[in-house]
Amino acid sequence: MRPTLAVGRRLGGLAIVFLGVTFLIYAMTFALPGDPIKALGGERPLSDAVVRTLRAEYHLDQPLWLQYVQYLGGLFRGDFGTDFNGQSVGEQMASRWPVTITLALTAWALEIVLGIGLGVLSALKRGTALDKTVLVGTIVVGAIPVFVLGVALQLVFSVRLHWFPVAGVTAGWPTAYILPAFVIALFGLAAVSRLTRTSMIETLDADYVRTARAKGLAPGRIVGVHVMRNSLIPTATYLATDLGYLMGGTVIIEGIFNLPGVGNLLFQGIRSHEGAVVVGISTALILVFLVTSVLVDLLHAALDPRVRTGAAA
């Protein structure tokens, strides 16, 4: 397949996914029970005339498909919509992205350092108590819901031991970010360690590694140069993909630790039935994930010559 055709098909597929997912989120958000316009009045109900005016202003009196088309038109102009208080969703996100990006990158760094480190140790010490401990630990961590783990670690390390702040980002990086980032990273960390272990074990049993040992190369050189370079290709691909998941996986953790990021804004939008906020942030996160997917494909092709050869065939 020619590279240009392959890229075109990939971009076409991403466009279909984007339209399908955003329409589904848009429909589900505005299908929630309750009228957000009437809720704006609180204990003092709005008059029917005011309700009709506001519904027309926010296009809620139009068919769903037409609302979605108008939303896409604004999106292509860089407009993520306006909430029911008249505030731009894009401006609200812009002020909160630094917190979410810092949290996601901190969690990503923990995944890389701890996940790869534990995976390498398990592979080099396979069959030992260390190897079994890492395997059991990753299985246990994967079985615990993230909100349970987040609240538990918050109670232990923040409330009782006072090692980290309970909530907020006043303490700055890394103090305010390290604990919530660790909670997010634990699940990806478990997958990275298992993937690294499996890939390294396969590489350690490869013929060229046995040949290198027979030639008398130092064990450190064999592992560092020959084994790591080849066995970390699937790990690097997973880590690149997981960065997109981390950006969207901060919603619950930002809510638990009260971090003023995009995830917390989405959490508040769901609670207050702010459809424009929910749809706008969800769309931004989808775009982040799709862009990350394209970069992962490029990274995989750069790391693995077999992918480039297959694409050019």
pLDDT at 312 over 90: no
3-class DSSP assignment, residue 48: helix
The backbone region for 173, taken as left when phi is positive above 0, alpha when psi lies in -120 to 50, beta otherwise, is: beta
Question: 88 has which bridge partners?
Answer: 82
Percent of the chain clearing pLDDT 70 (strictly above): 85
164 close to 172: Cβ distance less than 8 angstroms = no
Model confidence pLDDT, tens digit, residues 128-179 = 888 888 888 888 887 888 888 889 999 999 999 989 998 888 888 888 999 9
Q: What is the pLDDT of residue 276?
A: 81
Q: What is the pLDDT of residue 39?
A: 61
The CA distance from 138 to 193, in Å, is 8
Arithmetic mean of pLDDT, 50-65: 75
pTM value is 0.80
Closest CA to 190 of 146, 249, 137: 137
Arithmetic mean of pLDDT, 11-38: 76
pLDDT at 3 over 60: no
212 close to 243: Cβ distance less than 8 angstroms = no
Closest CA to 35 of 24, 50, 16, 14: 50
Q: Measured in whole angstroms, how far is the alpha carbon of residue 297 from the centre of its chain?
A: 17
